[in-house]
Amino acid sequence: SVALRKAFHPEARMLFVRDGGLAVVPIGEYIQRVAEGKRKPGAVDSTERRVASIDIAGDAALAKLELKRPDVLTTDYMSLLKLDGRWVIVNKSFSRVAGSTQAGK
């Protein structure tokens, strides 16, 4: 979670669709969820990860990440800003498609 706290701006949010509506989670809550969901020692992570694209314009950027598991494809869109000479994620939005195995298609 130290790496996540460094990557995300403290005011960042995670946004996604839940039951057809907008769901917003403060980044601190997201980081806590990730920390609590840590795998047990020796557990295998079968997730394939790739940076699909990065678009930079001055002090703003958008990164598209794909996380592929056998039963689900998650696509993350990270909005970044260059603050004090360092890129930080200011918002994360994502889509999760169950049953999808075609990352990048």
Tokens of 104: 């990048």
Q: Would 104 be classed as within a structural domain?
A: no
Domain count, the chain: 1
Q: Would 105 be classed as within a structural domain?
A: no
Here the CATH number for the domain that contains residue 92 is 3.10.450.50
Alpha-carbon gap, residue 1 to 20, rounded angstroms = 30
pTM, two decimals, is 0.82
Alpha-carbon gap, residue 61 to 38, rounded angstroms = 29
Alpha-carbon gap, residue 95 to 61, rounded angstroms = 19
Alpha-carbon gap, residue 97 to 74, rounded angstroms = 6
Tens digit of pLDDT at every position of the chain (105 positions): 789 999 999 999 999 999 999 999 999 999 998 888 866 666 667 789 999 999 999 999 999 999 998 889 999 999 999 999 999 999 999 999 987 555 444
Q: In which element (H, E) is residue 51 found?
A: strand 48-57
